[in-house]
Each structure stands twice: as C-alpha cells, then as structure tokens.
Chains A and B, each alone.
Chain A
Amino acid sequence: MLSLDFLDDVRRMNKRQVLNFGMIVSSALMIWKGLMVVTGSESPIVVVLSGSMEPAFHRGDLLFLTNRIEDPIRVGEIVVFRIEGREIPIVHRVLKIHEKQSGDIKFLTKGDNNAVDDRGLYKQGQHWLEKKDVVGRARGYHCLLQGFLLHLPKQPGAGHSDIIRGLM
C-alpha cells in the first residue's frame, strides 16, 4: 500500500521538481566522488561492523579513511587491509614493522580487543602483510548511536542515507 502512494507522488512531480531532485542526487554523488579523490580511498567513510577494536570503536561507529600510498606505515597506526581471497576489509592496529632500505615493508596487525595478533586471520602460510594489502588508514572517527546506521533502509532518492555503506 505504501509503495503505491509513493508512485502517485512521483507521477505528480512536475519538471522543476524532477530537476531539483536530480540536482540533489547529483550533488550528493559529486561530494562522494570528490571525497574519494581527495582521500584516495575507494570508500572514504565506513561503518564499523565488528567489535574487534573495542573499546575504541563500537559497531555502528563511523571511520574516515585516507589511502595515500606515500604515507609510511608505522606501528600504532590503524590500517584497513584486505586479505587475499577475502572480500571484507579489516581495520586493525599495526603491531610490528620490518622495513628494508628499498622501502619494502612487512608488518603485523592486531585488533585491540583480540587476545592474539592477526596471523590466524591471514592466508594459510602468510605471516606478514605488505603495502599492497593496505586499502586505507583510519584518520578520523565519529561515535554514533549503536546500530542506527546499519538498519537504515536502502531506498533510492531517500536523501543522503545511501551514501554511507558498511564495509568492515
């Protein structure tokens, strides 16, 4: 019943309203793409999905990511990495680094709330992460009402709600 009312509204919209609507959607898209360019990251804003970095990050919190390749990887930094063969990136803290003169680096990560390091999460036989596994660094944070964003309905044209996607 609700969907039929919505369609009637759409039919009643005149040209100006359609243009207005289009402007809003495209400016939202421009801001999002602009953010992607400025930060260098595929997803500049992500939602925390697991509790492995508590009490710093809880499920539902927002993280702002950058992905500048020239940023050196140092211990203590919170990096976003993807393990080969897995789709979901993980956001954990760097525990150990060994960097060669040439710039080649291998490093180990661990979630704050985990008792052990991430070697159990890496691929079979993989002991270290490398620069190519990194897809971003966590640079900013916003605490949010727990779980609020994860339950938002994904409706086209519902304002700005579909800009923010969960990724971790």
Chain B
Amino acid sequence: MNTVLSRANSLFAFSLSVMAALTFGCFITTAFKERSVAVRLAVSRVTLKNVEDFTGPRERSDLGFITFDITADLQTIFDWNVKQLFLYLSAEYSTKNNALNQVVLWDKIILRGDNPKLLLKDMKSKYYFFDDGNGLKGNRNVTLTLSWNVVPNAGILPLVTGSGHVSVPFPDAYETTKSY
C-alpha cells in the first residue's frame, strides 16, 4: 500500500463491494412482494374504421377507436425501492391472420411522489389502434387490461397485470362519418 495507485485500487474495490452489498439488500427486501392491485376498467365507446395504415405498412387495415375509463389505487405498490411505475393499457385479441395480437393503447408514467390514485374518465387512446389486417371487424372478444412495469432503484423489472379487465365487442360495420 505504498503507491497512490494501489491505494486507489483498494479503495475502489472496497467501495464496489459495499455498493454490491447495499444493492443486494435493496433488492432482496422487496423482491418477493406482491405487486398487483385491483383495477376497474370500463369502455364507453367503440368505433371502427378501415383506412390505409399511415403509421407503417401502407395497407388497408382496421383502425379502432375506444373511449375508456380507468379506476385504480396504486398506493400500496410504492415502497422505498420503487422509482416509478410505467402503466400501459393494452388490448389483446386474436384474428384469422394472427393467433395473438397485443396493442398498447395508452400509457402513463407515475413517479414516486406523484398521485398514485387513478380516476380517469372518457380517455381517448394515445396510440393508433391499427390491426394487422381486417381482424377487428366483428371481433367479439377484444380484452383490455391495465399492466405496469415496476422500475426499482435496484432490482428486478417485473411486469405486473392488474386484476380486472374488460372485454369489448367490436362492431360489424365500419363507421363512415368523421367522429371520435
């Protein structure tokens, strides 16, 4: 321990070990916690159009418009190892073309310290709900669920789905008027 370099090296190695121990403690105390809560979802309006997919492949595809409500209290999920929650409302359904489709309609970031109680009414989707083809027309079973990605200070990044979902039947005909 007689050069600056060897002292700096030992110091660095020691701090790294301490940080590793802290990280592990942070992680192990919250790793097995239940992170799901009850969520109430409701859909007030469903409209269906068929247009060229301008967000990507330029083929005529079904475009859905959903107006929804979300009620949830996420207070219990936040603890000292949760930095933020990335919420996303996703629609899951199956069509003739694809056995499984999942589309994120809306998302929101809730940081620790922000209001964790959600009371959203008449929300419009943030992202265009294009299908890969024409599979939304007459689709009786499009299920909406609210999920969240827990971002910790240190630890696992789990994806948790709230308990509570709503099934939306899509209309059999396309809407031709300009309304949303």
Q: Please, which residue of chain B has its CB at the minimum distance from the CB of A56?
A: B151
The answer to whether A75 and B154 touch (CB under 8 A), given A56-B83, A99-B99, A142-B23, is no
Cross-interface CB contact of A74 among B23, B97, B102, cutoff 8 Å:
B102
Whether A139 contacts B156 by the Cβ 8 Å rule is: yes
Binds A, one of B72-80, B84-92, B167-175: B84-92
Q: When the two chains form their complex, are residues B102 and A140 in contact, meaning their CB atoms are under 8 A apart?
A: no
Whether A117 touches B55, Cβ cut-off 8 Å, given contacts A141-B154, A161-B12, is yes
Residue B155 interfacial (CB < 8 Å): yes
Instruction: List B78-129 residues whose CB lies under 8 Å from chain A.
Output: 83-84, 86, 88, 90, 97-104, 109, 111, 127
Which residues of the other chain, B, contact A160 by a CB distance below 8 angstroms?
A: 13, 16
Contact A78 B101 (CB under 8 A): no
Residues of A within 8 A of B6 (CB): 9
Q: Which of A39-47, A81-89, A90-98 contacts B (4 or more CB under 8 A)?
A: A90-98
Bound Cα distance A103, B97 (Å)? 12
Q: How large is the interface on B (under 10, 10 to 19, 20 to 34, 35 or more residues)?
A: 35 or more
Q: Indicate the member of A74, A77, A97 with the most B CB atoms within 10 Å.
A: A97
- On whether the beta carbons of A76 and B127 are closer than 8 Å, the reply is no
The reply on A70 being an interface residue by CB < 8 A is no
How far apart sit A9 and B6, CA to CA, in the bound complex (Å)? Answer: 10
In the bound complex, residues from chain B placing their C-beta under 8 Å from that of A5 are: 3, 5
Cβ-based interface call for B64 (8 A): no
Residues of B contacting A56 in the complex (Cβ-Cβ under 8 angstroms): 83-84, 86, 109, 149, 151
Chain A residues whose CB sits within 8 angstroms of the CB of B71 once the complex forms: none
Selected from A75, A98, A117, A139, the residue in CB contact (under 8 A) with B90 is A75
Residue on A with the closest CB to B9?
A159
Q: How far is the CA of A140 from the CA of B30 in the complex (A)?
A: 13
Instruction: Find A112's partner among B3, B13, B86, B154 (CB 8 Å cutoff).
Output: B86
Quote the shortest CB–CB distance from A74 to chain B (angstroms): 6
Cβ of A156 within 8 Å of any chain B Cβ, yes or no, is no
Chain A interface residue count, Cβ-Cβ cutoff 8 angstroms: 37
Given contacts A98-B98, A142-B23, contact A158 B157 (CB under 8 A): no
List B residues 40-96 near A (Cβ within 8 Å).
55-57, 83-84, 86, 88, 90
Quick one: CB contact mask for B139-150 with A, threshold 8 Å, 1 for yes?
Answer: 000000001010
Tell me whether A18 is interfacial, beta carbon within 8 Å. Answer: no
- Assuming the contacts A77-B159, A139-B156, A159-B12, asked whether A101 and B99 have C-beta atoms less than 8 A apart, the reply is yes
Given contacts A6-B5, A9-B3, A98-B132, contact A76 B100 (CB under 8 A): no
Select A55's contact among B55, B84, B103, beta carbons within 8 Å.
B84
A28→B157 CA distance, assembly (Å): 26
**Closest A residue, CB atoms, query B156:** A140
Is A165 close to B, CB under 8 A? no
Q: Chain A: which residue is nearest B17 at the CB level?
A: A160
Chain A interface residues (CB < 8 Å from chain B): 2, 5-6, 9, 55-57, 74-78, 93, 95-101, 106, 108, 112, 117, 119, 127-128, 138-143, 158-161
